[in-house]
Amino acid sequence: MRTVSAIATPLRRLRPATARQPSRRHFSSSKDLQATWGFIGLGRMGFAMARNLRAKLPAEDTLFVQDVNTAASKQFLEENPQGVRVADNVREVAEKAETVITCLPEPQHVRGVYKQMLEPATLLSEGVNNQRLFIDCSTIDPMTSASVAESASSTKQGVFIDAPMSGGVVGAQAGTLTFMIGAAPEAVGPATSVLSMMGKRVLHLGGQGAGLKGKLANNYLLALNNIATAEAMSMGIQWGLEPKALAGMINISTGKCWPSEINNPVPGVIEGSPASRGYEGGFGVALANKDLKLAIKSAKDSNVKLALADEAQALYDKVEQAENCKGRDFSVVYRYLGGKE
Ligand code: NAD
Q: Which of 119-123, 142-146, 289-293 shows the lowest mean pLDDT across its residues?
A: 119-123
Distance separating alpha carbons of residues 288 and 305, to the nearest angstrom: 21
**Residue 2: inside a domain, yes or no?**
no
Residue pLDDT, tens place only, 88-141? 999 999 999 999 999 999 999 999 999 999 999 999 888 787 789 999 999 999
The pLDDT value recorded for residue 3 is 59
The pLDDT value recorded for residue 128 is 80
Q: For residues 247 and 150, state if they share a domain.
A: no
Last residue of a domain, one of 156, 188, 207: 207
The pLDDT value recorded for residue 127 is 78
Distance separating alpha carbons of residues 220 and 309, to the nearest angstrom: 9
Q: How far away, in angstroms, is 70 Cα from ligand 1 center? A: 14
Closest ligand 1 atom, residue 41 Cα: 7
Q: For residues 190 and 222, state if they share a domain.
A: no
Mean pLDDT (whole number) for 240-263: 98
Q: Which of 39, 42, 45 to mutate to test the pocket of ligand 1 (most atoms within 8 A of CB)?
A: 45
| pLDDT over 60 (residue 240) | yes
Task: Cite the beta strand spans of 151-276 per DSSP E.
Answer: 158-162, 165-166, 177-182, 199-206
Per residue, what are the HEC states of 29-55? CCCCCCCEEEEECCCCCHHHHHHHHHH
Residue bearing the CA closest to ligand 1, atom 17: 68
Q: For residues 201 and 230, state if they share a domain.
A: no
Distance separating alpha carbons of residues 232 and 154, to the nearest angstrom: 51
Q: Please state, rounded to an integer, the average pLDDT across all residues of the chain.
A: 91
Q: How far away, in angstroms, is 152 Cα from ligand 1 center? A: 21
**Structural domain range at position 324:** 214-336
Q: What is the CATH number of the domain that holds 188?
A: 3.40.50.720
The pLDDT value recorded for residue 131 is 83
Q: For residues 61 and 166, state if they share a domain.
A: yes
Q: For residues 117 and 264, state if they share a domain.
A: no
Last residue of a domain, one of 207, 238, 262: 207
Q: For residues 191 and 223, state if they share a domain.
A: no
Q: For residues 290 and 256, state if they share a domain.
A: yes
Q: For residues 159 and 250, state if they share a domain.
A: no
**Residue 5: inside a domain, yes or no?**
no
Q: How far away, in angstroms, is 132 Cα from ligand 1 center? A: 22
Give the residue from 137, 140, 70, 136 showing the smallest Cα distance to 108.
140
The pLDDT value recorded for residue 130 is 79
**Residue 341: inside a domain, yes or no?**
no
| pLDDT over 90 (residue 19) | no
Strand partners, 181: 204
**Residue 1: inside a domain, yes or no?**
no
Q: State the CB neighbour count (10 A cutoff) for residue 7.
A: 12
Q: What is the CATH number of the domain that holds 332?
A: 1.10.1040.10
Stated pTM of the model: 0.91
The pLDDT value recorded for residue 129 is 77
Q: How far away, in angstroms, is 253 Cα from ligand 1 center? A: 37
Q: Using a 6 Å CB cutoff, which residues line ligand 1? A: 40-46, 66-69, 72, 90, 103-105, 109, 112-113, 138-139, 165-166, 168-169, 287, 290
Q: For residues 60 and 177, state if they share a domain.
A: yes
* Helix/strand/coil for 164: coil
Residue pLDDT, tens place only, 256-288? 999 999 999 999 999 999 999 999 989 999 999
Q: Give the count of domains, the chain.
A: 2
Residue pLDDT, tens place only, 60-92? 999 999 999 999 999 999 999 999 999 999 999
**Residue 4: inside a domain, yes or no?**
no
The pLDDT value recorded for residue 4 is 56
| pLDDT over 80 (residue 25) | no
Any idea which residues carry the catalytic annotation?
215
Last residue of a domain, one of 207, 235, 269: 207
Q: For residues 188 and 288, state if they share a domain.
A: no
Q: How far away, in angstroms, is 247 Cα from ligand 1 center? A: 34
Closest ligand 1 atom, residue 47 Cα: 26
Give the residue from 312, 304, 248, 294 showing the smallest Cα distance to 108.
294
Distance separating alpha carbons of residues 336 and 324, to the nearest angstrom: 8
Residue bearing the CA closest to ligand 1, atom 25: 44
**Residue 3: inside a domain, yes or no?**
no
Instruction: Name 77's Cβ contacts closer than 8 Å, sequence gap at least 6.
Output: 65, 84, 85, 86
Distance separating alpha carbons of residues 160 and 14, to the nearest angstrom: 11
Closest ligand 1 atom, residue 284 Cα: 40
Q: For residues 326 and 255, state if they share a domain.
A: yes
| pLDDT over 60 (residue 36) | yes
Q: Which of 66, 68, 106, 115 to mutate to test the pocket of ligand 1 (most atoms within 8 A of CB)?
A: 68
| pLDDT over 70 (residue 27) | no
Distance separating alpha carbons of residues 83 and 243, to the nearest angstrom: 53
Q: Which of 3-12, 168-177, 189-198 shows the lowest mean pLDDT across its residues?
A: 3-12
Q: For residues 166 and 95, state if they share a domain.
A: yes
